[in-house]
Amino acid sequence: MLEIEEIFEQQPSCDDRNESPSMATSLEMLPPELQAHILRQCNSLLTLYSLLRASPRLYQVFLDQKDLILSHVVYNPFHPGVTNSAWILAKASQIPQPHDDIRVWEFLRTLRHETAVVKHRMPVRMIIPLSRFAATVQWFVNDYKRHSISFLAHFVPQLDLQQDERILYSDLSDIELARIQCALFRFETFHYLFMEPVDAKIPTCRSYAAFKYLDLYESDELEEIACIRDYIIRRLWGVFESIENDTFTESLRGPLRQLGRDFDDRFDWFALAMKSNFLLFMEHIMTRGLSFVQKVLQSEGLERARLVISHSVPRRNYISAALQGENFRDGNSWYVPSEFDEGSYEEGDYVFIEDSLDWYSQGFLWANRNRYPLDQARPALKGLRDWGYVFWEKWRLEASGVLDKE
């Protein structure tokens, strides 16, 4: 399989073309400005690579405008309204791992001044992680829609919902797609900022920094992140249950039991007492990033058990606690590096992270119609988050039948 770095390091070979000579000739005869425009319209690096293989002339045009063309190509799979969130994720991916607390606070401080500017040109070192994340985003968008919309079917008997399934299960609108992509970007940025080594102790300053990062978003945006968290936990519960069920399979029973015993010197992963830690294990798995979560969800059998059990670390629920504004304190005070104390966040110097989706969703307004100020990640809204109420447009909500209910 072609590695992304090849597009930066290899010159396409003229002898390796798979397009016809007439196609290559017609492309080479176009003006350079039009050739560059064609290259900028590619929706993946693999498509771009194929075009560069078709023509040495296109490759020369690419070299002349490399950063600009690659920036367009890496943004193309995403809705234009999520450009800022994509830029923030790409920037966060450049923080060296494992990173210290000073780097995280520096990122948060500079972030407030940069997010009002839309970035159209991105360095190659930032393009690579963002391009790799594009396929992960697409997988999660499809998986999220399938599981969240289907979840509404469970309420039909209890609530007597009158649903129009043809509309309810229709394709995502641009706004719905943008909202889900934004939430995935923000969730993944949290991973880059606060991921810890498996054997590391959790610094309390990271917990406060996590709260400050989420504090950059407005209530409905935080609720979108909470929807992604709840969806992943729901999917991981299915994985955990499948692993337990696999112990009844003759061929897997022995190896799985051995994995469980090797999990900890004192406890067996399959012991009944360990179930109380499952949510904490899931919180830690989420900190490993969406690519790792996707790998867990797509794996099977013994491989899936190895991935889950080896990452079953009882971390404090970072993202859940940060979403709810819970206090993580060391003694009686927050730990914040002195150069990033509260004085660094002066009134008037603070901005929300802005994308081109500066309106509340109809679902969020419906759920909070009698509440002010609007609260985020309220436990009472979990039932609504399970079907992604905050992402859907009004016409889909009407087709679901929920708007007719209190």
pLDDT digits (tens, 9 = 90+) for 40-99: 999 888 888 888 887 888 889 998 888 888 888 888 888 888 888 888 888 888 887 766
Residue-wise pLDDT tens digits, 260-287: 787 766 677 887 778 888 888 888 888 8
Averaged pLDDT for residues 5-20: 53
CA–CA separation, 219 and 230 (whole Å):
16
pLDDT tens track for 206-219: 667 787 788 888 88
pLDDT at 198: 55
Contacts (Cβ under 8 Å, ≥6 apart) of 211: 322, 325, 328
∠ Cα 99 102 106 (to 5°): 105
pLDDT greater than 80 at residue 240: yes
The residues that bridge with 333 in the sheet, in sequence order, are 330
Quote the longest CA-to-CA distance of the chain.
Answer: 74
- Provide CB contacts within 8 A for 228, sequence distance 6+: 144, 183, 184, 187
Alpha-carbon distance 315 to 106, whole Å? 24
**331 pLDDT more than 50:** no
- Amino acid at position 368, single letter: N
Q: Which of 249, 216, 243, 234 is nearest to 279 (CA)?
A: 234
256 has pLDDT over 60? yes
The pLDDT > 70 percentage for the chain reads: 74
Instruction: Check pLDDT > 80 for residue 327.
Output: no
The structure's pTM equals 0.82
Please give the Cα distance from 35 to 55 (Å, whole number): 11
Q: Please name which of 323, 229, 243 lies closest in space to residue 279, comparing C-alpha atoms.
A: 229
**Residue pLDDT, tens place only, 120-152:** 677 778 888 888 888 899 999 999 999 998 887
Residue 283 CB neighbour total at 10 angstroms: 22
